[in-house]
Amino acid sequence: MSFDRKIKIAPSILSADFANFGQEIRAIEDQGCDWVHVDVMDGHFVPNLTFGPAMCKAIRPHIRSVMDVHLMIAPVDPYIEAFAEAGADIITAHVEAGPHIHRTLQAIRATGKKAGLAINPGTPADVLEPVMDLVDLVCVMTVNPGFGGQKFIHSQVDKVRNLRAMIGDRPIHIEIDGGITPETAPLVAAAGADVLVAGSGVFSGGSVAKPEVYGQNIAAIRKAAEAA
Ligand code: DX5
Ligand code: ZN
């Protein structure tokens, strides 16, 4: 994975057909997405349950691009190895998930994977500062994590701008997760984001039988972001 700040669209398979992940992933990649975002939820850190390392391992052979695994679980550390072995390229943990984010990021890096730091809407940007040298990606939540299809929280745009200034020339991606549409994408792109996660924004209206809708949705978000 080489580093660049071009806009990347990362559809969240949380909004895909759960009985058909292989075909859904092929469809979004054929239709031009850049990364595949995988939302892992534990019913404890967030009020929803999705899937674990075994499911990640099963879908890995279907992903040709980047497997971006967003862990919404607490504790995190006991499971890092399993998600690394499942084939994640990026493993992102929440700063709110426990008292030892520094140790968690070290543990992710120790597996040879890229390390991401996710920040909930109620958490300030400055949590990045002390762990900056351990982070490859900061994921700014623009909804409260747990569900797809929620409304974008506009107050987070200033946070993105602050993070972008804090990061400077360092090779750290700014990823935005939640409520991304062609209307909200330009706001965060202008503030300095380069990775846009979109669940409902990519999958709504389409299916593996109508993959061109995914392509239109991806292109509309990308075009709006690039024009910002
Ligand atoms: C929310 C997840 C997101 C979510 C995004 O907890 O982390 O990745 O699926 O979905 P949309 O784009 O529908 O807000
Ligand atoms: Zn996510």
> What whole-number percentage of the chain has pLDDT above 70?
100
Which residue out of 34, 136, 177, 194 is catalytically annotated?
A: 177
Residues with CB under 6 A from ligand 1: 12, 14-15, 37, 39, 70, 143, 145-146, 148-150, 177-180, 197-201
H-run or E-run covering 220: helix 211-226
| pTM greater than 0.75 (yes/no) | yes
* 3-state DSSP assignment of residue 37: strand
Closest ligand 1 atom to the C-alpha of 180?
12
Tell whether the torsion through CA atoms of 110, 112, 114 and 118 is positive or negative: negative
Distances (CA, A) of 18 to 22, 44, 129: 9, 21, 37
| 115 neighbors 174 (Cβ within 8 angstroms) | no
Structure tokens that stand for 164 in this block: 């972008």
Question: Which of 24, 33, 143, 180 to mutate for ligand 1's pocket (most ligand atoms within 8 Å of CB)?
Answer: 143
**CA-CA distance, 73 to 220, in Å (whole number)?**
32
Q: Ligand 2 centroid vs 150 CA: distance in angstroms? A: 12
Radius of gyration over every alpha carbon of the chain, rounded to an integer in angstroms: 16
Report the mean per-residue pLDDT for the chain.
98
Give per-residue pLDDT as tens, 170-206.
999 999 999 999 999 999 999 999 999 999 999 999 9
Pick the ligand that lies closest to the CA of residue 148. Answer: 1
**CA-CA distance, 15 to 21, in Å (whole number)?**
10
Among the listed residues 113, 165, 155, 121, the one whose alpha carbon sits nearest the alpha carbon of residue 139? 121
Q: Which amino acid is at 191?
A: A
Per-residue pLDDT tens digits of the chain, which is 228 residues long: 889 999 999 999 999 999 999 999 999 999 999 999 999 999 999 999 999 999 999 999 999 999 999 999 999 999 999 999 999 999 999 999 999 999 999 999 999 999 999 999 999 999 999 999 999 999 999 999 999 999 999 999 999 999 999 999 999 999 999 999 999 999 999 999 999 999 999 999 999 999 999 999 999 999 999 999
